Structure 1
Amino acid sequence: MSERRACRTLGQHRSTQRKVPQGRVDEQRLTDDIIALA
């Protein structure tokens, strides 16, 4: 099955299969702050 057809079937953009997610530099600090406030 082609990438185009698979993505169309799943309702996803093809670019989501090619790009690696970029994490934020301060994400761990933000997570720790949210947990501390909870």
Structure 2
Amino acid sequence: MGSVAAPARRVLSGRIMSDRAHRHLVLLLTGAPGVRRDD
């Protein structure tokens, strides 16, 4: 995971909005029970 964390941070730092969308998609796909995080 460490090897993925570094590049992931660089990508996320430039794609924060994309990260948000990804989180929403993950929550929807995983079927998180009413987990809404509107940061």
User: TM range, normalised to the smaller chain?
Assistant: 0.3 to 0.5
Bigger Rg, which one: 1
TM-score normalised by length of structure 2: 0.34
